[in-house]
Amino acid sequence: MSVRQKVPEDLTARKALALEVIDRLKKEYPDAGCTLDYAHAWQLLVSVRLAAQCTDARVNMIVPKLYEKFPDVNALADAPVEEIEEIVRPCGLGKSKARDISACMRMLRDVYGGNVPNDFNALLKLPGVGRKSANLIMGDVFGKPAIVTDTHCIRLCNRIGLVDHIKEPKKVEMELWKIIPPEEGNDLCHRFVLHGRDICSARTTPHCEHCCLQDICAQRI
């Protein structure tokens, strides 16, 4: 039987809830970080594009083959799109992902000297890069305030009551900026991923009985 608690309407109350969620998830997942493997900023750009509608685990299995053949920005920028597609096809949507990766690497080479720009709006101009990807780069690579509204973040924020029936990623992001301290956003989103996989699942009934947030969650299922 579902128990539906009231989502806090007052901004102050939602800020207080957010701080409690942050504190509890820190204790539950003290070493949370990006689940995509990368050694350089451009590699994270590639991986986050491949991760669309694909698991991070599968992406981490595929990218070593890509980097073995094309070890840097210049090599990937010069690579035939068909060869990129052949390698990344197991991640799904191979044609569009390969096209975006190729165009993105060419832009990094031609406009930014092979470097990933340390600017949110500049990142958004790169082919295949949206707000989620740009926030991930800003937070993980450059250590800047970031809120990555992936599917785990959106699902958990609605269930917990940090947002109320908002599913559009940018709208969720804007609401979270109002209540989450800027320095906490990036790590919190990584913890949402871990908590979403371990406890607050989308594919099965959430394991509320094992959840560290069960007494403050707006929706217990």
User: Would you say residue 3 has pLDDT above 50?
Assistant: no
Structure confidence by residue, pLDDT tens digits, 53-65: 999 999 999 999 9
User: Would you say residue 189 has pLDDT above 60?
Assistant: yes
Structure confidence by residue, pLDDT tens digits, 35-44: 999 999 999 9
Residue-range domains of the chain with CATH: 3-31+146-220 (1.10.1670.10), 41-140 (1.10.340.30)
- What span, in angstroms and rounded, lies between the C-alpha atoms of 214 and 90? 37
Structure tokens at 193: 């991923």
User: Residue 206, exposed/middle/buried by CB under 10 A (0-12, 13-18, 19+)?
Assistant: buried
Q: Please, are residues 192 and 179 in contact by the beta-carbon 8 Å criterion?
A: no
User: Would you say residue 9 has pLDDT above 80?
Assistant: no
* DSSP assignment letter at 213: T
Across 94-99, average pLDDT: 97
Average pLDDT of the chain is 95
Across 121-128, average pLDDT: 98
What pLDDT was estimated at residue 2?
A: 46
- What span, in angstroms and rounded, lies between the C-alpha atoms of 129 and 17? 31
The band of 5, judged by pLDDT with boundaries at 50, 70 and 90, is low
Across 114-123, average pLDDT: 98
What pLDDT was estimated at residue 8?
A: 74
For the chain, the maximum distance between any two Cα atoms, rounded to a whole number of angstroms, is 58
- What span, in angstroms and rounded, lies between the C-alpha atoms of 148 and 18? 15
Q: Please, are residues 4 and 166 in contact by the beta-carbon 8 Å criterion?
A: no
Which residues does 138 contact at the CB level (< 8 Å), separation at least 6?
118, 120, 123, 144, 145, 146
Q: State the residue for tokens 């709006």.
A: 121
What pLDDT was estimated at residue 204?
A: 84
Instruction: Give, rounded to a whole angstrom, the gap between the first and last alpha carbons of the chain.
Output: 7
The pTM of the full predicted model, rounded to 2 decimals, is 0.91
Q: What torsion do the CA atoms of 163, 165, 166, 167 make, to the nearest 10 degrees?
A: 120
User: Would you say residue 1 has pLDDT above 50?
Assistant: no
- What span, in angstroms and rounded, lies between the C-alpha atoms of 123 and 91? 23
* Active site amino acids: 132, 150
Structure confidence by residue, pLDDT tens digits, 139-174: 999 999 999 999 999 999 999 999 999 999 999 999
Which position has the higher pLDDT, 2 or 29?
29
* DSSP assignment letter at 4: E
